[in-house]
Amino acid sequence: MNHRYCATLLAVLLLSSVHAARCAVPAATPATTAEATAPANRWAIAIHGGAGESEWEHMDLATAAAYHDSLARALSAGSAVLKRNGKALDAVEAAVEVLEDDPLFNAGRGSAFAADGKNEMDAALMDGATLAAGSVADVQFTRHPVALARAVMDHTAYVMMVGPGADAFSLAQGLEQQPPSFFFNEMRWQEFAAIMRASGRPVPARPPGVPPPATPAGTASHAANIFMHRFGTVGAVARDNEGHLAAATSTGGMQGKLPGRVGDSPLIGAGTYASNHSCAVSGTGVGEYFIRLTLARQVCSLVEQGQTPQQAADHMIHSELPALKGGEGGVIVLAPTGDPVWSSNTLGMFRAREVAGSAPEIHVK
């Protein structure tokens, strides 16, 4: 363990305990009506902001603090819904929208770029109570792709819409539209440019409306190398006071992907799944492996067969996923009873959880 890594870890631990102390619910605080009537399977929520390797090796204290604050904001947006007796489905959507708005994460604003320099965003959500689901892939203009997935679920007879048809549906639904420059993030572009150069492919022109880079290309590409092995997808799983489960995932996908490539995040059963009979799952990692393993559904199948959520998650992430060479990533999992759990086979995974009556728990590593 090197010195820098120890310093980061220490700072993160300190930050986590400060935040936990700030957010802790004193024992004497009177319960709200919702909390007072909560069944044994009380409300709970977990979120993730991606997993990976290099970013965690090189993360400085300021970056760790920024991630910590973002996760805290997203967790609190989701738990606020559950505290007022709202639905798990609304909680996961609220949490994911906060992460989509944050350029630190590879979803919504801050999304990765396809090889043609465009953002093609994927998102899904699923209602564990009804098995209703909605998803979108390769959308380019919707500020909150997860809200578009919700609109597909609520306002069509379909589960999934893709590309220009999904963009047109988004407009027709009155969802907020934004130009490519809104989603653009310089760090993410430099990471993308480095990946394109490393794979011998041309770096396309910057998106329309985006100014030239402030730093010389050589410096930026060097900086980008430290971020080349990470997955910044975001997701959430929640259980409401009625005991219903939900899951949501949103991503810009893999940097430098061929236009038209779709990952696991919007595929029900691969990167996203929820059923009240087993569990809710949101994943992050190399999507192609999650798709081939139908990983999210497999975690829930193992729970149905009697494994604990932790056992099921660990089996898929530490045995099945790496058994396919290159299978890397992590999941957050929540069952009808018990606390949210997580598992990852990478150096780090941004994640956080909160359960009714307990302080939030936030992990930047």
Q: Which of 8, 233, 251, 346 is catalytic?
A: 233
Which DSSP state fits 116?
Answer: T
Which parts of the chain are beta strand (E)?
A: 44-52, 121-127, 133-139, 160-162, 230-231, 234-239, 245-251, 272-274, 280-285, 329-334, 341-344, 348-355, 361-363
Give me the least distance between CB of 276 and ligand ASP, in Å please: 25
Is 29 an annotated catalytic residue? no
Three-class SS state of 76: helix
* Rounded alpha-carbon distances, angstroms, from residue 279 to 27, 142, 297: 30, 29, 9
Best CA proximity match to 108, nearest among 75, 136, 79: 136
Give me the least distance between CB of 231 and ligand ASP, in Å please: 3
Interface residue list for ligand ASP (CB under 6 A) = 50, 106, 231-233, 251, 253-254, 263-265, 271, 284-287
CB closer to ligand ASP out of 41 and 298 = 298
Best CA proximity match to 102, nearest among 143, 62, 134, 136: 143
Give me the least distance between CB of 287 and ligand ASP, in Å please: 2
CB closer to ligand ASP out of 322 and 338 = 322
Give me the least distance between CB of 283 and ligand ASP, in Å please: 7
- Tokens found for residue 226: 């430290």
CA separation for the pair 251, 124 (Å, rounded): 9
Q: Please identify every residue annotated as catalytic.
A: 233
